[in-house]
Amino acid sequence: MKFFFGTKDTITVREYIKDCGIQPHLWLQDVGGRIIKPIVSFVLLDEGKKRFFQIIFKLKTPFHFVLSLKKIITRMEIQGMKSHDYHVMMQEILPLGLHHLMAKECKMAIIWLSHVFKKLCLKVVGPMTMEDFKQDMAMTLVLLEQEHPPSFFHIMTHLVVHLVEELELCGLIHIRWMYPIEWYLKTLKQFVKNKARPKGSMAKDYASEEALRFCTKYLQDCTSTI
């Protein structure tokens, strides 16, 4: 959540952009002997941050849909989010929160990126739509390159291009999600009572839970047959 808060918009980046001769609207300006960094569309000012956080505070989401949004905002920053929370933030909340806070070009790039990721996570994907997915992903990166500085783009940004190929080779994404495993690992961690023997604690409580589940199921079946 740092890219639109301006942490990658530094003076060094602006000088690099000028040396490359690209994006003239982002170059540093010398006004009366003072170096001024023009305000650009991909940076949220303090007022924009406040409005974005106010939108988050007012959101009402289903239970377990996302982490408590009010708890992750501290001192005008978003912290403590898990992987699934970032997933929901990118696909659902960002397009809604940034709709009236950014210029059209930058806003459309982010909304388009959220839309493409939402399409990739569908539970039904036809083979005829793969080429459309590839074009949409390429167009999304083009929109981002037009508005964001080169420092925003690194190897992780480039890997987005290959998500469609991964979908085509490995199958639907929701089948390979790690979220259920992460949730169950949290359950296993709660079984640890003796930190000196964590594996033994997990095995003991897991066996106890399995036995209770079996007995409960057996009693329910016996009750239903009477």
Can you give the pLDDT at residue 74? 63
pLDDT in tens, 65-95: 666 666 666 666 777 777 777 788 888 888 8
pLDDT value at position 8? Answer: 66
Contact 71, 79 (CB under 8 A): no
**Which residue spans within 61-162 are E strands per DSSP?**
73-74, 77-78
Q: How wide is the angle at C-alpha 187 spanned by C-alphas 64 and 180, nearest 5°? A: 55
Residue with more model confidence, 6 or 124: 124
Q: What pLDDT, on the 0 to 100 scale, is given for residue 5?
A: 41
Domain boundary assignment for the chain = 179-225
- pLDDT of 181 strictly over 60: yes
Examine the pLDDT at 4 and tell me if it is beyond 50: no
Which neighbouring-strand residues pair with 30?
35
Please tell me the distance from the alpha carbon of residue 116 to that of residue 118, in angstroms, as a whole number.
5
The rounded distance, in Å, linking the Cα atoms of 86 and 78 is 10
Confidence (pLDDT) at 2: 40
With contact defined as beta carbons under 8 Å apart, do 84 and 66 qualify? yes
- CB 35, CB 29: distance < 8 Å: yes
